[in-house]
Structure 1
Amino acid sequence: MSEIYLHRDEIYKQVWERPMRQIAQDYGISDVGLKKACRRLGVPTPPVGFWAKREAGKRVRVPALPPLRGEARECVVIRPPEAVPDVGELPRPEVRVAKRLDNPHPIVRKTLEELKGASVDDYGRACPRNPKGLVVRVSPGQLSRAMRLVEGLVRALERLGAKVEMTPRYRDEVKAAAVIEGEPVDFSIWEPSGRKKVRIENRWSSYDRFTYTPHGRLELRIDEYVSSGRAKTIREQASKPIEAELGRFIQSMYATARVLKAQRLEREEEARRREERQRERERIE
């Protein structure tokens, strides 16, 4: 089942005509999920005991649909459980990581050129002054390995039909990202640093300061503020190199892209409904 649009006025009528459990079954979701959708829409729902009183012939009160206020929305998009990507639905692709970086992808080459001439920050990571490529923040000692990882990741994404390219963003910003099923997904690779306290002493005073040293284990990150049901950060373990996790990372990227798409469609539908209401008000006036 694909995305379902719940419109505020329509769902209000439904939840006061039949029990929410029945309506939720029609949409293929739980009654808890339906109640959450009603809260987002600002739609009042029947209290506990409402339907028992009604069946017993007792008088019950049906509140009016209140006007939109606060964060209430005109429309929300829901995805039934079978439509949400899970661990078993998205196949884990094979990602090949070469021993040498020969003839890299153009965006990988651009990123490498930036990093080769970059200074090192306080955390021991190469940090370009005006980065235009992919976000790769690792120590110079891990740069070759990180770029081979990124090359394998980019090539695997392209074999699946995705692209990794410069994409327009907010306020004329252009940023490198994966474009998966039409949705830009930001991702990055990092090398965390360990912190050590050092005692500094001189003739006049003494004080503590912290130094940071990269520890050689890498992290893959999806830099999007969504919950996709997948790991957004995959950390390298001593028993499992990050090279073995690239397929799982791509699964997470695809799951994230589908959540982003659902959110975008919801925003577009809300905008359409607002325009309709505005046109209707102008027509009446």
Structure 2
Amino acid sequence: MAEEFDEWPEVQTSHDDRDTGPRDFDFPLAVAQEGSTDVEHGVADVMPSEGDEGSKRSFVYKHRRELAVVIALIVVAAAITGALVGVRQHVDGREVLSSCQQSASIYQAGVKRLEKTVAAASDALAITEDQVQDNQTVQNLRTAVDAAKRNRKPDAGCNAASFVDANRNHDMAFTKATQALGNEVENILSAQSAVMESKTARDVAVAKADLANKVTEGQTVLGTVKSNDLTARQDLSAMMNEAQQLASSTLDSTDSYVTELNKLQAAIDKYSSTAIQ
């Protein structure tokens, strides 16, 4: 029985340095089998690492399906976003066009209103400066009407083929022009009202003056005309007192003064008709 070896046997090699042939290494079979597992682990441990690039490739390969799904979702989201942006721009364009067209219609309505206002001011325009208390009101009305007649249509138009910004600018132009029309209408109405008020003030002043003069005329008649009709004399005297009080009042209408003047004139005529020849 061969003696037992606690260690591996020495490697038998040729002591001839000139021997360049292959060398055989004799390892005990039992040792190799028992250490097979460790050998495999050792080989695995010393295998070269693939590095970061290999790890990344391995990750991409392992998760290629998930990455494909993510990429597909990104593409779909981008397409949807682009479509929504296109739809939003289209909707904005239609809204701007509709607003521009509406502003154009409002402007046309403003033009017609201004034309009607000018036509309605014709009566006030016929009033001359000597018919009003303040002749500046007549000049202001004429200036306002002349300015309205010189009103120019804005260089704007709504077009479906135009860009959104162009229609938006046209919309603003129509809105601004409509505001200008409104201002001109207000200027004419204000000037027209001032003319009529000035004319009324003058008419009232004239009517009051006429009534006061008629009272003076009645006094003259009472003093110069002799009559035996006491009733006619008393009626004329009472009417003169009433007319004098009205002439001292501050009424805004000429009707009362004119009516009182006619009544006083009738009383004067009645008393004069009873005069003694």
Q: TM-score, normalised by structure 1?
A: 0.20
- Structure that is richer in strand per residue: 1
Q: Which has the larger radius of gyration?
A: 2
Higher helix proportion? 2
TM-score (norm 2): 0.20
